[in-house]
Structure 1
Amino acid sequence: MEKIEILLIEDNLNDAEMTIRALKKNNLANNIIHLKDGVSALDFIFCTGEYSRKDPKNKPKLILLDLKMPKVNGIEVLRKIKADESTNTIPVVVLTSSKEDPDIRICYDLGVNSYIVKPVEFEKFTTAICEIGLYWLILNEYIPKAQVTKNSA
C-alpha cells in the first residue's frame, strides 16, 4: 500500500467531497483515505479490525478530523491518537462546525495541532482546506515517530 498522506475522518459526505475536491484542485490529494466514523478511523490508525493486515508503519502524514461522528466521536479518536506513543506525533487538524468552547478547550488539552471551524461558504471552505493542505503537507517539516526515536537514541 502506498504511503498515506491524508486521513480524512468525516461522516458528512458533502463535506468530505468538498474537502477532497479542494485538495485535488491543488494537487494535495494524491494519497488520501476517507473514513466515515470513529471506529473505522481507530481501526485504520491502530491496524485493528478490518485493517489488521495494514502495515503499522504506514501512518498518515496528516489527519483531518471531524468531531461530530457516529459510533466514536472525534474527541475520543483524538484522545486515543495523542495518548499512544506510536501515533501522538501525527499532526491532527480538527475540521468541524463546532465553535463550542468546551470542544475547543478539550481538543487543545488533548494535543490537537489545529482547530478549524468549517466555513459555510463554498469558496471560503475550499480556501481553508487548501491552506491546511499546503501548510501541513508542504511547509511543515515532519519526522515520523519511529525516525525520531531511532535517531535520538
Structure 2
Amino acid sequence: MEWKSSVSSQEAEILLVEDNPGDVRLVRELFIDASIANTLHAVATEEEALDFLNKRGEFADTPRPDIILLDWHLPQATGEDVLRAIKNNHELDQVPVIVLTGSTAGEDLLISSEVQPDAYLTKPLNPDDFVSLIRSFELFWLTVLRSSSNP
C-alpha cells in the first residue's frame, strides 16, 4: 500500500512495516499534519517487507526506501527477524532502520537482540506526543541524515 504526500521537492521514500491498520493510518495522518514530504509505503508482514526490499512479486517496481520504520511485534515473525534479514543483505544494510515498539521496555527488548537497529522509538499513547515524535523524526532522520548522505 502506498500513500504520497507532496509538500516538498526533497521527498523521502519510507517503508513502514506495521501490522496494525490503525497505526498505519495514524502515521500517515501525522506525516500530513507535520508536513513531512514523503511517499509512505506500508506493508503488514515480514514476507511483504522482504518482498518489497528485494523487489519481488508485486513489489518489483518499488523504489529503495530511504528509511525503514519497523514494528517490533509482527504477527508471524518478529521485528528481529526482519531486521536480521536487512542487516545481513549487503544491498540493504545501509538503509536506516528505526524500530517502533508499543512497549515501554523497548530498550530491554532490543538489547537482548543479536542485531541492532539504528534507533528505536516507543509509540506514544497520546496523539499530541505522537505528533511531536513525528516532527522530531522529520528533523533528524529526514533532514540531518539526508543532508549528510547528499553533500
Q: Name the TM-score class by shorter chain.
A: 0.7 to 0.9
Corresponding residue for residue 54 of structure 1: 61
Matched residues in 2 for 1:12 and 1:82: separation? 24
TM-score normalised per structure 1: 0.80
Q: Any idea what SS the aligned residue of 2:121 has?
A: strand
Say whether residues 1:6 and 2:11 are aligned partners. Answer: no
Residue among 134, 139, 145 paired with 2:144: 139
2:111 corresponds to: 105
Gaps of 5+ in 2: 5-10
CA RMSD of superposed structures (Å): 2.3
**Corresponding residue to 1:124 among 126, 129, 147:** 129
Q: Could you tell me how far apart the structure 1 residues matched to 2:73 and 2:115 are?
A: 17
- 1:36-89, Cα deviation, whole Å (9 max, x unpaired): 1111011100112332x226xx31001111011123321111110011110000
Query: Which piece of structure 1 moves more, 79-88 or 24-33?
Result: 24-33
Match of 1:147 in 2: none
The structure where strand makes up a greater share of residues is: 2
3-state secondary structure, aligned to 1:5? strand
Cα distance between partner residues in 1 of 2:120 and 2:107: 11
Number of paired residues?
139
Distance (Å, rounded) in 2 between the aligned partners of 1:136 and 1:27? 14
What secondary structure, in the 3-state scheme, does the structure 2 residue paired with 1:110 have? Answer: coil
Partners of 2:34 and 2:134 within 8 A in 1? no
Residue by residue over 1:19-41, the C-alpha shift from the partner in whole angstroms, topping out at 9 and shown as x without a partner, is 11111222224311011111101
CA shift, 1:4, in A, is 5.9
Comparing both structures, which one devotes a greater share of its residues to helix? 1
> What secondary structure, in the 3-state scheme, does the structure 1 residue paired with 2:75 have?
coil
Amino acid aligned to 2:136: E
CA distance in 2, matches of 1:117, 1:100: 7
Deviation >6 Å, runs of 4+: none
Deviation for aligned residue 1:130: 2.1
Which residue is equivalent to 1:148? none
* Residue identity matched to 2:81: E
In the superposition, the TM-score normalised over structure 2's length comes to: 0.81
Q: Is the 8 A contact 1:18 1:126 kept in 2?
A: no
Indicate yes or no: 2:40 matched with 1:32: yes
